[in-house]
């Protein structure tokens, strides 16, 4: 969903007013289990809980779509027209 849109060298969504950000409503229901185990290799046993788990999910999803469709996907986000050739760019 997050995408800087550039056309003819001009950024089309240069402010957060036009910048689409995912919200909680865009998330499917999740079942979470919190493991309170410290990391023995970090100070005070701390672990990252923010964005690190999401770093590999985007590339994994794009690779799965590429494998399923045979399309040469090389950008994110993947839009429907990236998967189905509609004859327009």
Identify whether 3 is a catalytic site residue: no
Residue ranges in the chain assigned as alpha helix (H)? 57-69, 80-83
Cα separation values, 40 from 19, 49, 64, 68, Å: 40, 16, 34, 40
Q: Which two tokens stand for residue 41?
A: 């290799």
Point out the catalytic residue in the list 2, 3, 36, 51.
Answer: 51
β-strand pairing of 6-7 with 10-11:
antiparallel
Q: Residues with catalytic annotation?
A: 51
């Amino acid at each position: 969903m997050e995408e800087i849109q550039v056309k003819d060298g001009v950024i089309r969504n240069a402010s957060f007013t036009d910048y689409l950000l995912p919200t909680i409503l865009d998330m499917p229901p999740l079942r979470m289990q919190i493991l309170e185990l410290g990391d023995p290799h970090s100070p005070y046993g701390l672990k990252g809980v923010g964005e690190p788990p999401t770093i590999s999910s985007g590339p994994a999803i794009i690779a799965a779509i590429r494998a399923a469709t045979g399309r040469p996907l090389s950008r994110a986000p993947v839009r429907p027209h990236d998967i189905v050739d509609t004859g327009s760019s």
